[in-house]
Amino acid sequence: ETGVTQSPTHLIKTRGQQVTLRCSSQSGHNTVSWYQQALGQGPQFIFQYYREEENGRGNFPPRFSGLQFPNYSSELNVNALELDDSALYLCASSLEPGVNTEAFFGQGTRLTVV
């Protein structure tokens, strides 16, 4: 158990819809990062939040957005869903940015867009 939980575990959405994925980080971890993992690929960095502010972003369009809350929970929002957004979405919590000695991952949310 990593102490990082994600919800829901599975989700099916229709193209064009919006989705919100949730993550509860380990207590005391101020940093949360979100990754997208397509089938057969390694995880790709979406963005990172530190103390409720975005602290870095990968090559993902603005329709991918996030929030981090004071209670160590966070959200990933995706608007105008496309078929290629189908993937496993992972959140990882760590103490501070750039200190990923042990970034603890949740079990992921499997998103299917039809």
Partner 1 sequence: EDQVTQSPEALRLQEGESSSLNCSYTVSGLRGLFWYRQDPGKGPEFLFTLYSAGEEKEKERLKATLTKKESFLHITAPKPEDSATYLCAVLLGGGSQGNLIFGKGTKLSVKP
- Per CB under 8 A, the list member of 48, 68, 74, 93 interacting with partner 1 is 48
Helical (H) or strand (E) element with 70: none
Nearer to partner 1, 35 or 72 (CB): 35
Name 55's Cβ contacts closer than 8 Å, sequence gap at least 6.
Answer: 31, 47, 48, 49, 97
CB of 56 to partner 1, least distance (A): 3
DSSP codes, 52-91? TEEEEE-S--TTEEEEE-TTSEEEEEE-S--GGG-EEEEE
Binds partner 1 (CB under 8 A): choice among 66, 108, 111, 113 = 108
Taking the alpha carbons at both ends of the chain, their separation in whole angstroms is 32
Residue of 93, 106, 111, 113 that binds partner 1 (CB under 8 A): 106
**Binding flag, residue 25, partner 1 (CB under 8 A):** no
3-state secondary structure of 58: coil
Position 52 contacts partner 1 (CB under 8 A): no
The contact set with partner 1 (CB under 8 A) reads 2, 4, 6, 31, 33, 35, 40-45, 48, 50, 55-56, 58, 88, 90, 92, 94, 97-108, 110
